[in-house]
Amino acid sequence: MLFRPTSILYRSSNSWISRQSRDPYVKKRVLDSNFYRSRSAFKLVEINDKWNILTPNLRAIVDLGAAPGGWSQVVSRTLEWDDEQGTDGVPRTSSGEEADDPLAMWEAIKNLDSPTDPAGFGLREGTRPAPGVIVAVDKLPMKPIPGVLTLQADFLQPATARTIKRMLTAPFNRDGKADLILSDIGANQSGNRIRDVEQSLEICHAVLKFARKHLRSDFELRQDTWDRQGVLLLKHFAHPDIDEFRKEHLEPNFRGVYYLKPGSSRSESSEGYFLCRGWRGDSGFGLL
């Protein structure tokens, strides 16, 4: 009996290793020249290929629960930030100093007159100007990513919210709002399935609360552009109340809400994504 927990753990570990060795997206992550930091990066790649949420008109993007940085890498590369930042790969300001401190980067951004090359990161030669600011937030530390302002903090804390707004505010983005908010946050597995399921719904509510304060409203946009601004991509897990959450909190506050299950999301996983487009803001009739 004393050895049973160890044997269960051993079998579980073997099962995980076996699954990883067969997973085509795990192999692709290693073999792909982009070398994304996480397998989940391919989910965002798939979603963007179909829905085109990473567009040149974006002024500001926030990636919540970003560590280790796979989704931020996708955003950075899709928006064509230069990966070659010297031999160490660290983003630098125009003066050549390391720019991995978020507030130092913000100081470099805030005085710009246009969204061209925020913080002097450098763009690939011959490509269009950078469309805006990318802010990645997580409680865990992240290695620098070209064009991404990283913030190690809890996004639910008021002080963090104030810092994010400061980081998003610039002459080309004076209201400090985000056009796109991404959340690939998953609840930490406690072993108590009921608690884990409840926590996943709590995360959805927390992200929506954050979006209410930081997402740009589409109220003054032309009808043909609403689906490209005021966008929230929100991961969720199966929950008895998830349909109610969608109907009562998402659909009244966005002009379009879509359920997505990317091919790279494991079939046995209960995860899915809500793509919410056209945040109504104060013009919406829903209650959060």
Active-site residue list = 235
Query: Which contacts (CB < 8 Å, 24+ apart) does range 15-24 have?
Result: 23/266
Residue 156 has φ and ψ, to the nearest 5°, of: -80, -15
Q: What angle do CA 163, 168, 170 make, to 5 degrees?
A: 120
In angstroms, the CA 276 to CA 229 distance is: 10
Alpha-carbon distance of 92 to 146, in angstroms, equals 9
String of DSSP letters for 144-160: --TTEEEEES-TTSHHH
Dist CA 98 CA 116 (whole Å):
19
* Strand bridging mode 254-260 / 271-279: antiparallel
- Report the alpha-carbon distance of residue 65 to residue 235 in Å, rounded: 11
